[in-house]
Structure formats: structure tokens, C-alpha cells
Structure 1
Amino acid sequence: SSSILITSCPWICLFCENFIYEPITLYCGHTYCEQCIKDDKFSSINCPRCPKDIQEQIKSSITYARENNSSKNHFLKQIIERSTTFKLKCENILLCHKAQNEYIKKNYQQAIDIYSDITEKYDDEHIAFYGRAKTYKALKQFDKALTDIEQVILLKPYWAKGYYCRSEILFEMKCFTPALLSSLQGLTIDPDDQIGKQIMARHLHTVLHNNDDKQDVTRAENDLNMFPSTNNTNKQVMTSNTCDSKLHMCKSTSLTPCLCALFDSEHINARDYDCSICVNLLWFPVTTPCGHIFCRECLIRSIDNTHAQCPICKKSLED
């Protein structure tokens, strides 16, 4: 086994740590879920895959995508639709969105029923466990919420949101010091997360004015010591298995199989990777805000001749 970057799988959205659903490609070249990109509640407007020095020099690609209403990546969407396994992942995500809508409407039991249907069939769908944990928390069923969020952390040990959710559950249970330590674990993964900092500050304030049960404190400290040290630029998992996919795109970086290993590529042929301008294999591909993909040089030449319009949909590319 060897240490590898957790960001290696190209089918994972680093915001939700789930399969990229309705993919949007930013002008920096990285791809995320449409909902994750366009949700202005996210604490960060920086691309998680871009180096910090680049982010400091250019305008946020996420802000640009929101302001220009970037469209879905048609190329990736077509690839996903041809994969039976990926289509199944999309169906699960749609069900999670449906459950989330029920949660927003405070139809908590309906949300739990939907999440439970997913988890009964697929025990590795961390988003379903995460959503159900939040729903149980809203119902004050903290033991069930804690069980679900521990499963999320087991499945996705490098997803900060899992630790923040656990800290909020513990806080509601009045286990203030364990809640603080759990929020610190999340910040260990993503030190720049503003929401995480706010959660930690609130918990720290409470801890300074309350005394917790010593057993809870000791248990939380032991949990924290077991968690490996990480930072935002070097998130690594110390044990991993090589992906058995024909594509050999990356390696598995969590307890669940790498999505590359689930990709059934028999429905894909070489022509799918052709540029629609030169009708040859995509060379240095770039994605337009309208979601179409071309060779970089082909697009530049086309823009020179078409007054900055997309060669396919004719949408303006002047921005």
C-alpha cells in the first residue's frame, strides 16, 4: 500500500464527497456538482482542487460560474448517462434531494423513510446517512443521529461536514467538550472553512462557561488522538487499494470502492472523445460556460471566426 492524494478520483465532488451529479466544469478545469457550485450557502468560494497561490491571483472560478450561470458539462453528462452504475448513483442522489426537500418542509418522518430506503439497499451512501442524522437531530433523537453520523465518518473520514454535524449533535446533547473537539477535527481537515470556525467558536465559548462530564471529555480526546493529522494541501489515506477499473484513473481513497472501479466503460467508444470541430481526439480539452467541450486550439480558432460564440449552441463566449 502507498499514500495517495484523496483528491485523485475524478468522479468525486469534493464539496459533498459524493458522485458528481449534474456536473459543472469551472474555468479552472475542475468539475463539481451543479447544486454544490450554485449553492451560495457553501462557506468557501475557492476551488478545492486549485492551489492557493492560483486562487489568490485570479477571480474565484466558483463565483464566475454563479455569476455567468454556467451550464452542465454535456460531455460528462453523456458519459454518465451511458453508465448503468453511474445512473444508479444518480438515482440515489435524486432520492436524497427529495428527502432533503421533505426535511426543509419539516416533513421529518417522510425524509427518514426515504433515507432509510436508500441505506437499506446501499450501506455506503454516506449522504443518506448524513441526511438522516440531521433529520434525527431535528427530532431530538440524538442517539440515532449519533449512530448515523458515526457511520458517515467511518465511510468518509476526510469529509469535514461529518465532524461538524457530529459536533452539533453532541452540542445539543450538552456534551460541550466532545462537541468542540469534533469541530476541531473538521477544521483539521479544512482549516479555511468559515462555517467550521463559527461552529468551533460557539462551542469554545460554551466550554469555557460549562463543565462537562470527565468521561465524555476523555473519550473525545481519545477519538481525536486516533484521527491522523491532515492539512488542506496534503490529505492522504495511509492504506488504499489499487483501482481495478480498465481506465486505471486513480486509486481508492476511502472505505468505499473508488468510483472508477464502478465505471462500466463497455458503453463508451473512442468517438465519444472526439472534438466536434476537428473530429479528432480531444487535445488539451477546454469546457465552455455553456457546457460544451473542444480542443483548446480549435475553440480559439473558432472564436476568431464566429465573434466569440460557442460552435454548438451559439451562446456568447465574450466573458
Structure 2
Amino acid sequence: MEMVDLAREAFRCSNYDLAIGIYDKLLSQHGLNMEWLVGKASSLAKQNRFNEAVNAMHYACRLGGLQPCDLMILVEPMVDYIARIASKAVYNFRKKDIDVYSCGICLGILFEPITLPCGHSFCKDCLREVKRIRTCQTCKAEHPLISLSNMQVNVILRDGFEKYFTTEMKARRLKQDGNNFVKNKQYPEALERYTAALQLDPLDHLSLSNRAHVYLSMNYVESALQDADMVCRLRPNWPKGYYRKGAALVKLSRFDSALMAYLQCLTLDPTIMSAKEAITEVMYTLLTQQQVDPIHHLGSDIMYSNLKSPREADIGSPLNILNTCNLSELITTLVKLLVERVEQDMQQKTDGPPSTTTTTQIQDVEMQVGDADTVAMENTDADQCTVGKVVTAMGHIRMSDGPSTSSSKELPPQSLWCSLPNNTKKREIESGLVKVEDFECSLCYRLFYHPVTTPCGHTFCRGCLYRSLDYSNGCPLCKGCLAQFLSSRCEAETEVTASLIKNHLLDKFQQRQAQQHQEWDSLSRSVQGSLEEEIPIFVCIQAFPTIPCPLHIFEPRYRLMIRQCVESGSMQFGMCIPAENGFSECGVMLEIREVRHLEDGRSIVDTVGGRRFRVKEQGMRDGYNTAKVQFIQDIRVEGETLERVHQLHDTVYEVGATWFCNLLIPLKVRIEQHFGPMPDKEIDLQEDPNGPRWVWWLSAILPIDPTLQLQIVSKTSLLERLQMLQNILTRVSPR
């Protein structure tokens, strides 16, 4: 038992070679044992040595007592291996022939579309599984907080698709009726609905797939296989079609072909658990197919080393794909053919030489195939490593036709991922059906610009929606709570809506875009220091150049101001202190470094002081203050005046440093946490147009009135500013 425990520990620590060696020794010394064979098979599978793993499981099957679910130790590593070597090709293949009006999961037209915060839309039924609604299947963005119960159908898309694709949507409703009948096991009625849907839309792979399921449930297996095969040809990049095909082939006892179909399904989507369970059933059937006596009937003292390989024994018994070929080669060949198919598709699109990226993918797969072959050759006999019925010298795939015949039929390699010619639906919207009125924002009554869709299914211009949410966290139409939506600040526009506008209302969109850019330009010109345009003014506290100034934004007018600064790209606004006539005549520009939004719409804005300015004229825009300003900087000095500045600079710096060091420790800690440590002296005092940084740091922490701080900021003479600080330090320093 110590050896068994050691093998288990080696497996747990991923030392699979050691685990295999221990199990081999145990089997050679003590004879066959179910647990040891399964342990060895699991270790071999972890190393992608699937041929030897199958052999070990074959021995275990012959002992009796093995269940199909036990084969999951082979299937899981096999699926992981497929996902690793096929990921790039699958990504490109899954995107094949999918237009913007299609669901990225079922590949059919969007029906009852739900729009996720990332802007991608899917059929509501396709998002039933939590993992699918919380991870976008198009961009892989994570949405951990949303649930389907909180999401409503996108009203704009639902109504628009009913108008633009009338026949196809009618077919989808018939399919939906059929689905409801299937839930109640009313198969004849469901069959009638699916057939009616196909009469309206003959290329609907979803209705074909569901009709294949109904045929199978009614035991019309050949009809089910015919429909499933047509689904695979219509949509060779849809995994469920291969799953349907595999289920029909199992009913016909064509297990070799079923294994291949399930492998294709898992190649396209390794997460389908039902396909993994189905493939364990098929592999179990293939491994136990030979009619031989259970091995334990031969005697309990039979030795593992004296047994014939399952591929050498029982010559007169039926053969199948698992005991006549290299399983690793079968998998990697399947992936290689997929990569080649992707390359062909990309070459057809570009009508030029093969894509470098895809060619590299083929080379990567071939390299991994070579690695798998090397491992297999090192660990199996030469006759076990031959591809046999998988790949012939002419490069054709062969697989068994039935359960009890060794004959096989040849299939060209491309047939594994084949599609019918002209199978792609080219959805075209009739001219004149798309109206501007269909895409007007209910807040600004203009064409959508950067349309975003709320969880309640309503669509607005992004700027309009957030402006409304500055005052209330409810939807402007249905008043549903959007607090969670607000906190996540979903900036992504609804892809389908934006595409419809740009493709069918291009002139109107360009006019709307020009209007928006004109509005943003007036906000962003302050970055270049234009005197002709107004800058937004935040009336609050005194800011200083180069000094951090974190702000808590909660007033609706300032929420709007900060958002406009960010969206326009200016990332700046002016800060002034209150005054009798509105706000002070001098202020400092604050540069936005980061905005952190809170659930209730408030935000924490991290800013730092920049240029100083004088107010020339006050104004108002969208509820907040604005001003036409003139930017100011220090006047440069030379000669004796510069020497005086240097002398005073050193003196005031030392006095200020001493004053700071004498503060109580808790106060010093709070100051350093907020403003940072005291800056060092600078060699060139006039390098920065605003003067030395330590002057502003000291001005910010000194216990003085904001009016005195304003006077310091407004000075354009470093000498005068230092003299003011010297006087203030004299008053605040202990005598």
C-alpha cells in the first residue's frame, strides 16, 4: 500500500513519470488491478499519451466493473489538449460567416436580444446559463454581477428586427413554439412547427438541429442524422451540430463516426459537458466492443507483462478506431485540418497568399503533432503508433462504417469541416426600411451617438444617459434602478445599433458626429490655452501647481462637468475659490489623472495642479461656471535680482523644513499621506514657469486663510512669493 500511496502523491504533485513507473512495477509484480490500471491511464493521459492510456483502460475494461464515467480521466485531458493546440484556429473559425445581426452563441439571427454591458448582444435563450451571461462569448469580458433576471430585451433591436427581417423572425417564432412543445414532450406538434419554420427559412440551422433532436426522440434515426449532417454543412463552425450528429450516429451504432463527431464538437467548444459525457459512453462502448471473456476468468495470478496488447489479441473480433489507430494522431490531424480550413477561408477572402498568422498556426500544430508522435514512439510498439485507419498515405481520413464490419470508407480531409457552397445567409435590409425615427434618443431627440443599452433594455446616447443619471439613478423611461449600471460605467456602445446607424443612415450619422465634435472642440481647446474659449470652473478650494488635489464629486452639475472634460479629451478644468462676484479672479488648472465611480453616481477624482490663470470674463454652461482666462507664469529675472532670489530661496527653504520637522508626528504623517514628502530644492529656480515645487507644497500645508493662499498663487514674481512665505513662517513658527 505504501507504493500505491506514493504513486497517488506523485500524481498529485504532477510527477506523472514517477506515477507511471510505480504503477508499471506494481502491475508487473502483482498482476492486474483495476485501481492501478486506472491510475496509470490517468497519468498517461495527463502527459497526452492517449494511445497508451487507452490500452491501460482497455485492460481495466476487460477486468470488468469499469463504468463509462470512469473514462472522464481520459476525456478531460484530451479536451484540454485539443483546446491548447486548436485555440487560435477555433477563434478564427468560430467567427466565420457571422454577421452583425447574428447571435455569437447560436449563430442564428438575434431573437429577443439581450445586450451585455460590453455592447455585444445575444439571444435571451442563449444566455440562460450563468457562465454565458457573466462572460461575453464574443469579447470574453467578465460581467460577474449581472444575472439574466435583471436583464430585459433590447427594445430597439427587437422592434427593428421584426421590421427588417420579417420572414426570418416569423420562422424563429415558429421554432420557439416548437421548443415549447419539446419541453412538454409533444414531439409531433414540435416537428410540425420546425418543419413550418424551415419552409420559411430553409437555411435555418437552428430549426434543423432541433428537428434532428425531435426525430431522434421519435426514433426516426436516419432522418435525425440527415438533418444533423445538414446542420454541420450549413454551420461547420457551430459545435452543437456535431453534438446532434454524434447522438444520431450512436443510435445507429456507428460509434467510430460518433467519436469523431463528438471530438469535432469539443474542438469548437471544450466546455460542453454533455459532449464530454457522451464521448465517455462512446469510448466505453468501443473499448468493451470485443466479445471476449472477462480477464479475471482466466485466473487471478495472470501477469500484466504476459498479456497481449488489445490490438494484438482477438484477431477475429470486431475492430474499432480506438484499437486500430493512434488516438493522439487522430486528434492532432483533426486540428490540422481545421487550421488548413481556416487558412483556405482567409485566403479566399483576401484573394492573395496564405496568411502568415494561419501558416504559423499550422506549423505550431505540426510541431505539437511531432511531439505527440515522439512520445508515442518512445512508449509504444511500432505497430501501435501507426496511424492505421486515421491517415493513409494519400492523406485521407478513414473511419469505420459500423459496429461489426472492418470495412471502411474514405473521406477527403476537408469533409470533416466542410460546408455547403453558398450556405452563408446574406441578410440585406430593404432600402428605406431604416428610418431616423427608429434610432432617436428619447432624451435629446437626436440620432443616437454612442448608443448604450441599459439592463432594462432601453437605449440612449451615452452622454445623454449619464447626464440624466447625474440627477437620478433611475432609467429615464421606465424608472428602473440603474445603480449597478452606473457604478460599472459601461462605456461600450451597443454594437448592432451603432452598425445599423452607420450602414444605413451614414449621412445623418456624419451630421450628428460633426455636431458632437463641435461641442467637444469647444471644451478641449483649453488644453492649448486658447483665450477665445471658455474653460469649466470648479468653485471649491484653493489649488496649487504640481500639488495633488483629490476631489469628491457629488453635485450633478460637477458630475456633468467632469464627464464632459473626460469625453472631450481635455482632461482639465479650472479651480477657483468662492468670492462675492461668484469666484476668485485667479485660479489653477487641475489635470484629471483618474476617475473612480461609486455605485450611487458619486465619484472620486484624482487631480494635480497645472497652469495658473487670471479670469477675464465669467460665464455659465450646463449649470456650472465657466470663464475666459489668461494663463500666467513667473517673470524671469537676471543679475543681482536673481542672486537675491537664490539667497532668499535657501533661507526660506531651511525655515520651512524646520517648521515642518517640529510638527506633531500624527500631523506630519497625515500631511505626507495627502501631499507627499517635502520636495527637494531645485538648482534652476526658473526652469518651471511656475517656480520651485516646494514653494507650492509649503503654501498648501501652511495654516493660513485661503485669501492669503490666493495672493501667493496670483504672484508672478518668485521673489515676492518667497517674501510672503518668509513673513508667514515668522508668524507661525514658535518663538
Report the Cα distance in structure 1 between the residues aligned to 2:343 and 2:444, rounded to whole angstroms: 39
Q: Secondary structure at the match of 1:89?
A: helix
Higher relative contact order (CA 8 A, sep 6+): 1
Q: Hey, what does 2:202 align to over in structure 1?
A: 123
Kindly provide the CA deviation profile for residues 161-185 of structure 1, in whole angstroms up to 9, marking residues without a partner as x.
0001111111122222221111110
* Unaligned ranges ≥5, structure 2: 1-91, 291-316, 325-329, 351-419, 485-735
Q: Hey, what does 1:169 align to over in structure 2?
A: 248
Report the Cα distance in structure 2 between the residues aligned to 1:204 and 1:13, rounded to whole angstroms: 33
The reply to whether residue 229 of structure 1 matches residue 338 of structure 2 is yes
Q: Hey, what does 1:316 align to over in structure 2?
A: 481
Structure label with greater radius of gyration: 2
Q: Which moved more, 1:149-158 or 1:119-128?
A: 119-128
Q: Secondary structure at the match of 1:262?
A: coil
The one-letter amino acid of 1:229's match is L
Answer yes or no: is the 8 Å Cα contact 1:74–1:291 preserved in 2: yes
Report the Cα distance in structure 2 between the residues aligned to 1:43 and 1:50, rounded to whole angstroms: 12
The one-letter amino acid of 1:30's match is H
**CA 1:108–1:20 in structure 2 vs 1: closer, same or farther (change >3 Å)?**
same
Q: What is the CA distance between 1:316 and its match in structure 2?
A: 1.1
Q: Which moved more, 1:112-121 or 1:286-295?
A: 112-121
Report the Cα distance in structure 1 between the residues aligned to 2:343 and 2:121, rounded to whole angstroms: 19
The one-letter amino acid of 2:432's match is E
The reply to whether residue 32 of structure 1 matches residue 114 of structure 2 is no
Q: What is the CA distance between 1:236 and its match in structure 2?
A: 9.0
Q: What is the CA distance between 1:151 and its match in structure 2?
A: 0.8
Report the Cα distance in structure 2 between the residues aligned to 1:235 and 1:161, rounded to whole angstroms: 23
The one-letter amino acid of 1:163's match is Y
Alignment of 1:1-319 (within 5 A): 5-6=95-96, 8-37=98-127, 39-40=128-129, 46-51=135-140, 54-55=141-142, 58-59=143-144, 64-68=146-150, 70-83=151-164, 86-210=165-289, 228-229=337-338, 237-238=345-346, 255-259=422-426, 261-306=427-472, 308-319=473-484
CA RMSD of aligned residues (A): 3.3
Answer yes or no: is the 8 Å Cα contact 2:211–2:227 preserved in 1: yes
**CA 1:213–1:314 in structure 2 vs 1: closer, same or farther (change >3 Å)?**
farther
Instruction: From the two aligned structures, give the one with the greater strand fraction.
Output: 2
Q: Secondary structure at the match of 2:122?
A: strand
* Unaligned ranges ≥5, structure 1: 243-252
Report the Cα distance in structure 1 between the residues aligned to 2:462 and 2:435, rounded to whole angstroms: 22
- Provide the identity percentage: 29
Answer yes or no: is the 8 Å Cα contact 2:162–2:169 preserved in 1: no
Answer yes or no: is the 8 Å Cα contact 1:156–1:255 preserved in 2: no
Report the Cα distance in structure 2 between the residues aligned to 1:146 and 1:41, rounded to whole angstroms: 31
Kindly provide the CA deviation profile for residues 1-43 of structure 1, in whole angstroms up to 9, marking residues without a partner as x.
xx88427511111222211011111112110112222x33987
Answer yes or no: is the 8 Å Cα contact 1:124–1:155 preserved in 2: yes
Q: Secondary structure at the match of 1:267?
A: coil
The one-letter amino acid of 1:256's match is N
**CA 1:88–1:45 in structure 2 vs 1: closer, same or farther (change >3 Å)?**
same
Answer yes or no: is the 8 Å Cα contact 1:43–1:193 preserved in 2: no
Q: What is the CA distance between 1:254 and its match in structure 2?
A: 8.4
Answer yes or no: is the 8 Å Cα contact 2:133–2:147 preserved in 1: no
Report the Cα distance in structure 1 between the residues aligned to 2:258 and 2:132, rounded to whole angstroms: 20
Kindly provide the CA deviation profile for residues 141-171 of structure 1, in whole angstroms up to 9, marking residues without a partner as x.
2111111111111111111000011111111
Answer yes or no: is the 8 Å Cα contact 1:170–1:178 preserved in 2: yes
Report the Cα distance in structure 1 between the residues aligned to 2:159 and 2:343, rounded to whole angstroms: 31
**CA 1:302–1:20 in structure 2 vs 1: closer, same or farther (change >3 Å)?**
same
The one-letter amino acid of 1:80's match is F
Answer yes or no: is the 8 Å Cα contact 2:168–2:200 preserved in 1: no
Aligned residue-pair number: 288
**CA 1:18–1:100 in structure 2 vs 1: closer, same or farther (change >3 Å)?**
same
Kindly provide the CA deviation profile for residues 69-122 of structure 1, in whole angstroms up to 9, marking residues without a partner as x.
x11111112211322xx1211111111122222223222222222322333453
Report the Cα distance in structure 1 between the residues aligned to 2:131 and 2:251, rounded to whole angstroms: 23
Q: What is the CA distance between 1:127 and its match in structure 2?
A: 1.8
The one-letter amino acid of 2:201's match is Y
**CA 1:269–1:116 in structure 2 vs 1: closer, same or farther (change >3 Å)?**
closer
Report the Cα distance in structure 2 between the residues aligned to 1:236 and 1:298, rounded to whole angstroms: 46
Kindly provide the CA deviation profile for residues 235-286 of structure 1, in whole angstroms up to 9, marking residues without a partner as x.
99447779xxxxxxxxxx9843445x33224111234333222233322221
The one-letter amino acid of 2:447's match is L
Q: Hey, what does 2:687 align to over in structure 1?
A: none
Report the Cα distance in structure 2 between the residues aligned to 1:42 and 1:123, rounded to whole angstroms: 31
**CA 1:43–1:22 in structure 2 vs 1: closer, same or farther (change >3 Å)?**
closer
Kindly provide the CA deviation profile for residues 205-233 of structure 1, in whole angstroms up to 9, marking residues without a partner as x.
33332259668899xx7xx8599426xxx
Answer yes or no: is the 8 Å Cα contact 1:6–1:236 preserved in 2: no
The one-letter amino acid of 1:278's match is C
Q: Secondary structure at the match of 1:24?
A: strand
Report the Cα distance in structure 2 between the residues aligned to 1:281 and 1:199, rounded to whole angstroms: 51
